[in-house]
Amino acid sequence: MDFDLELAKSFQSIPVLRLYRWKPYCVSLGANQSMDEINIEKASTDNIDVIKRPTGGRAILHSEELTYSVVFPIELNYSAKAIYNEINLALKEGLIFYNPILSQLELEHNQADFKNFYKEDKSAICFAVSSKSEINFNGKKLVGSAQRKIGKVVLQHGSILCGDFHLNITDYLNIEEQRKEEIRSEISNTTIDLKSILHQEINYELLAECIILGFKKYFNSDVNVKEQIFQ
């Protein structure tokens, strides 16, 4: 993610898409979150890294997922909000390439009441709520994303859930044990992952290739897309 930030700061003219995975697994907190929300000692014991990412949003446990990063210029035809929507539409195209069943994906139409949501202890978690334009399947959140403006470009990160290990993020919240179980149950009911949708293991390399194809199709681009996939 430091490299993503450097790409945004040194942006020239061509938008950049990067795709990667995490080893070891990692909790990333939004730029405005406090590290005090996470039990860093327990995370360390479980070989889970904890970092602050340069984009906003809330905490994500990067585990059984594909992370995407996009650096995109803010132009007359693209505000930051419009870019957020366009990127998610491109992701949707890529996911459909991966499996036609995912043609049922929809973008969230409503914006959450974040003023009241942030008063809840589960607000520490990105996947506790779906924001406008994020990708859902049957009303459940599949992709979580966050943005940051840097000069005349937008840096956008996102997590495409491929398995259900993300639910374990509740283990690392600094809250009471009983509440952890309650939040885990709530998130289980409001999120979904590709493995659960498709009832099969996810081919991460193929998924990455399909996401790239989706971006090329959606943005009608023949330009070679920069990609980096960490196994």
Q: Are residues 29 and 39 in contact, defined by beta-carbon separation less than 8 angstroms? A: no
Residue 159's nearest CA partner among 68, 225, 82, 49 is: 68
Q: Are residues 228 and 208 in contact, defined by beta-carbon separation less than 8 angstroms? A: no
Catalytic residue check, 126: yes
Report the DSSP beta bridge partners of residue 75. Answer: 78
Burial class from Cβ neighbours inside 10 Å (0-12, 13-18, 19+) for residue 23 reads exposed
Dihedral angle, C-alpha 1, 51, 23, 67, nearest 10 °? -50
Which alpha helices (DSSP H) does 132-203 contain, by range? 177-190, 194-198
d(CA 32, CA 194): 29
Active-site option among 26, 126, 162, 210: 126
The DSSP element (H or E) to which 115 belongs, if any, is helix 114-117
What is the set of active-site residues?
126
